[in-house]
Structure 1
């Protein structure tokens, strides 16, 4: 049996969101919610798979086993534009690190690219991916 609603309620997700190193009023966070609302049903479902490994939300707030965590991306290297980075998801923790992009259009482009092209979990076992994220020592 598949649990959860096939329709992804962005308002419910926003209600069940915690913020880390950012505020819900920061430009990139406001843009994130606007972009998510503009996504098609398929894109919203793909977003959930990207950040949680599931394609459906629980039916109500009480049914969430954990809240969604939205964080500002903190691994930016000196001298590099934030627009060069992709969002980083952590499916075990139902979270995403969102760079402070320069525009809503850039956020949309990078988020869609990450959703459909970044399937590795946190770069585990992939030194190239880890290096791109700035995880090398």
Structure 2
């Protein structure tokens, strides 16, 4: 799942925890939510399931959690965030017939860039496989 990053949809909120939550609290919430929203269960949602999983994958590691916390603390200075691993100019992008383009991430995943993102001054795009971001300017 590729999503645009928004601070109001932060990983702590996705896991129903606050930023002071312990590893065990995050893990317990993750396990409960992943069971509840599993796509094979009634009322489950693949989109919710993937969001929960991505939040857990970021917050379970001390290093990536610290980087993510720094990102949340920043106002709009995404360039200083260690989560931004590539920066692209809007002029560097060409779109295919469905108004999207893929850009490779260093993890082997991809950033899916939609043409509508060009309407924004700056846009953070999340890799579909890891917690890296692309900054589109």
The normalised TM-score by structure 2 is 0.30
The normalised TM-score by structure 1 is 0.30
